[in-house]
Amino acid sequence: MSDNPKLVKVIGKYKIVVVESKCIAAASCVAIAPTLFQMNERNLVEIIEGGSDELDNIMLSAQSCPTGAIEIYEGENKVWPLV
């Protein structure tokens, strides 16, 4: 798993890891999955407590991040980003 994961949440088959140090406040994730992600007072992405979304939207929101700050795992296997 990545260095310094800030937030981790499991939804369905996905484990979502937000690496705050990679966030540049593009907010594309919020535009795609506003019921799961929000920008905090420091203008960095965070997972909404109790938030959720469709699995397709979760993956799209991670894929929209220009810095790869949102990582998606299925079990221990990283499925996004693939780098």
- Residues linked to residue 66 through DSSP beta bridges, in sequence order: none
Burial call 2-36: b when 16+ CB within 10 Å, e when fewer: eeeebeebebeebbbbbbeebbeeebbbbebbeeb
Q: Is residue 2 part of a domain?
A: no
What's the CATH number where 39 sits? 3.30.70.20
What domain range is 20 assigned to?
A: 7-77
Q: What is the pLDDT of residue 1?
A: 45
Q: What is the pLDDT of residue 5?
A: 59
Q: What is the pLDDT of residue 47?
A: 95
Q: Is residue 83 part of a domain?
A: no
Q: Is residue 19 part of a domain?
A: yes
* Number of domains comprising the chain: 1
What is the chain's pLDDT, residue by residue, as a tens digit (83 residues)?
Answer: 445 556 689 999 999 999 999 999 999 999 999 999 999 999 999 999 999 999 999 999 999 999 999 999 999 999 999 96
Q: What is the pTM of this model?
A: 0.88
